[in-house]
Chain A
Amino acid sequence: MRATDAEKALAADIWQHFHDQNYEQAQALLAHALETSEHPRFKRIQARFYLFEGREGDAATIIKEILPKVWTPGSWELALVRSGACRAKVLKKQKVLYFPLRKCGSTSLLNMMKILTGEDARGEHVHQEDDTRKPVNLATMGADYPGYFSCTAVRDPIDRLLSYFHGNIVGRDHLMVEYGGKTEFYGLPTKPGLDYFLVNFVRYRQVFISVRDHTEPLVSSIGANPAVFNWIGGLGQLSDLAAKLSAHAGIELPLLQDMVSAEKPGKVAHDMPIAVQALYAEDYEAYGVFF
């Protein structure tokens, strides 16, 4: 279902009000849009607004309903409803499926996929090529992609969270840049201290979709069954993955360094607020052996 120019303009206006922190106006425009248009993009905005309001259940109900009609669902949408599908880098010629997970060595591994396809590695820019990553159904990928080598790398969720905080939010002013240089967005500092961030973690995940994307539990994205992948491992085992990929694709890959987090976490799981511990409890259960 193609959006008309008017629908596109209306959606842009809604987002503009939201980003201008004029939420009441954004809501009013969205209500108008929902009354006058059947286009799924407005339902998606409604789901996003529900998340902003902390109404995850209501957001999930909408996403479940519209997901089949959405051409390129966002990572957060797939994860919210635990759709069983995860966005993957699909290398058709080399028959490789790589499932990039945020803060799990995905920059290095996406660059490695570039080497496999004969392209130059491109550093952080590989993350902007989302159009090349399509949702792959994990339960049926063996049948959907016969002969493919499927792989992903995972990481201790608290390490991921701290790496995201130190590397992205503090190190690269991620939130400030994303929200046009604002020092606060809906009352939350875009460059908070760690303790403030952790205490308000639930609200940060509601307000900033990029915080949500970077801190989704692994199980929300790739399910809880590591056996569906031909290879899965931690960041300390990437050289093994490089060797397996070399063997599978018949291409000599340069030696990939095993990664050890440079940012030693100052906090461990039991220091974290209950909300953080609860969010990642299933990750430790399903994937703890790889951390």
Chain B
Amino acid sequence: MSELYNTDILRLTTRIPHQTRLESPDVTAVKTSRVCGSRLTADAVIQKGAITAFGQEVKACALGQAAAAIVGEHVVGLTENELSGVADQFRTMIKTGETKFPEKWSKLALLAPVKDHPGRQGSVMLSFQVLEQIFADARKSNESAA
């Protein structure tokens, strides 16, 4: 038993924003955790390097849902550069427990106890992985169009 699934985390599972898939996304990405089978599917519209519309379907454990809820709060307006910084800090947190985020991303620290649960880390990383994929695909698409 762990304190991983605490009240804050459980509350977040019912507050996942952007749960309506987009009808005409620029990019769609799917990521699945090999460890637990959690899956996140996301659509995005990207303009001038920032996400302007986002839709996601989250089939994950409570931790994956909580991560999707926190990331989803700030996904509109997100750039690849900002994502890269926050994702790096998040990876550091789940390795070392160190919580060092910009103020607006501070809720990610709620997931710090996952450090001691390697089996749950795949699920909480999905939101970041899917966004990284979205930006990478958008970049490729722009390059091939240029």
Binding site for B on A (CB under 8 A): 23-24, 27-28, 30-31, 34, 52-57, 186-188, 199-200, 202-203, 206, 273-275, 278
Contact = CB atoms under 8 A, between A and B. Distances in A.
Contacts, number: 62
Given A55-B36, A57-B37, A203 B5 contact: no
Contacts of A206: 62
Contacts of A55: 36, 61
23 contacts: A23-B5, A23-B6, A27-B5, A31-B1, A52-B5, A52-B62, A53-B61, A54-B38, A54-B60, A54-B62, A54-B63, A54-B65, A55-B36, A186-B10, A186-B13, A187-B11, A187-B14, A199-B19, A202-B60, A206-B62, A274-B41, A274-B57, A275-B59
Interface residues of B, number: 28
Chain A interface, >50% SS class: helix
B65 A273 contact: no
B15 interface: yes
Chain B interface, >50% SS class: loop
Nearest to A32: B1
A53 B62 contact: yes
A57 B37 CA distance: 8
Contact of B36 (A28, A34, A57, A187): A57
B58 interface: yes
A24 B7 contact: yes
Given A23-B5, A54-B65, A56-B37, A188 B14 contact: yes
Contacts of B37: 56-57
Interface in B7-64: 7, 10-11, 13-16, 19-21, 36-38, 41, 57-64
A69 to B, nearest CB: 21
A23 B8 CA distance: 11
B41 A27 contact: no
Contacts of B60: 54, 202
